[in-house]
Amino acid sequence: MIEVPVYFQKKLHEQEEVVLFLRPFGIVYTGWFLVSLILLIGPLYYSFYMFRFGYVGLILFLIIFALGLFSFIKTMVVWRFTAMVITNRRIIDFDQHGLFVRQLSEAPFVNVQDITLSQKGLLALMFNYGTIKVQTAGTSGALEFPYIRRPREVHEILVDLKNEPPQALEVKTDSNWQKDPKLQSFFSVLEKKKQELGADKVKEALDEWLQEDK
């Protein structure tokens, strides 16, 4: 069973099974960590010389040290809360921008149109990481996941999940229901219930309702 941190588990439905949980490859943050360490250790190493300038040196020491601490915390938060979660039903993109901005995007596999991968640069080829881009139907456009390790394996898994036979009650993105707000709302609720209860139970309930309506 794939372990998923509690923060990301809260966004999953009961009937979903996690196929992959991915974070950006940590090596791409090495530069930021080095800068943070230099800003943290530098003032400590030269503190004796800086304190010779009295309050000016103390203020300079505190400013540089605070910048290093801020840079370190920001890098850790961005790495920790940025993730790609692939379930048996959808793709979920968790993006952390800085300390105070978080963005959540998702796309059911029924809405996925194209999946591409790219590896650019010598480091990407050496350490085997790259970018996965998922093109979706509707207004969401595309989901992009940079710095993913073993991108070819991830790409193959996504393509396999996308090409699985659609379950009953899958909503087609090119149908006329998108033009009617009421039908759009209905199918949105239907999709949520299908994820919570399972497609078979929802189909049985609809068949029973249709029989009674006759």
3-29 pLDDT, tens digit each: 888 888 888 887 788 999 999 998 888
Which residue range forms the structural domain that includes residue 186? 167-214
Q: Has residue 146 got a pLDDT over 60?
A: yes
Domain end, chosen from 38, 64, 79, is at 79
Q: How many residues does the chain have?
A: 214
Considering the chain, what percentage of its residues have pLDDT values greater than 90? Answer: 28
134 in Cβ contact with 115 (< 8 Å):
yes
Domain count, the chain: 2
CA–CA gap between residue 38 and residue 49 (Å, rounded): 17
CA–CA gap between residue 106 and residue 24 (Å, rounded): 17
Q: Has residue 169 got a pLDDT over 90?
A: no
pLDDT 10s digits, 49-65: 888 888 888 888 899 99
Q: Which of 64, 73, 74 is nearest to 42 (CA)?
A: 64
pLDDT score at 171: 42
61 lies in some domain: yes
CA distances from 113 to 23, 110, 129, 140, 202 (A): 23, 8, 23, 12, 25
171 lies in some domain: yes
More confident of the two residues 123 and 186: 123
103 lies in some domain: no
Q: Where are the beta strands (DSSP E) in 98-213?
A: 101-108, 112-118, 129-136, 142-149
Domain end, chosen from 45, 63, 79, is at 79
Domain end, chosen from 48, 79, 110, is at 79
Q: Has residue 186 got a pLDDT over 80?
A: no
pLDDT 10s digits, 62-113: 999 999 999 999 999 998 899 999 998 899 999 998 888 988 888 888 888 8
125 lies in some domain: no
70 lies in some domain: yes
Residue for token pair 């919570």: 196
pLDDT score at 187: 63
Considering the chain, what percentage of its residues have pLDDT values greater than 70? Answer: 74
99 in Cβ contact with 73 (< 8 Å):
yes
More confident of the two residues 213 and 15: 15
183 lies in some domain: yes
- pTM, whole model, 2 decimals? 0.67
78 in Cβ contact with 65 (< 8 Å):
no
Banded model confidence at residue 201, pLDDT cuts 50, 70, 90: low
Q: Residue-wise over 179-196: b if at least 16 C-beta within 10 A, else e?
A: eeeeeeeebeeebeebbe
3-state helix, strand, coil in the chain (%, to 5): 55, 25, 25
154 lies in some domain: no
93 lies in some domain: no
pLDDT score at 211: 61
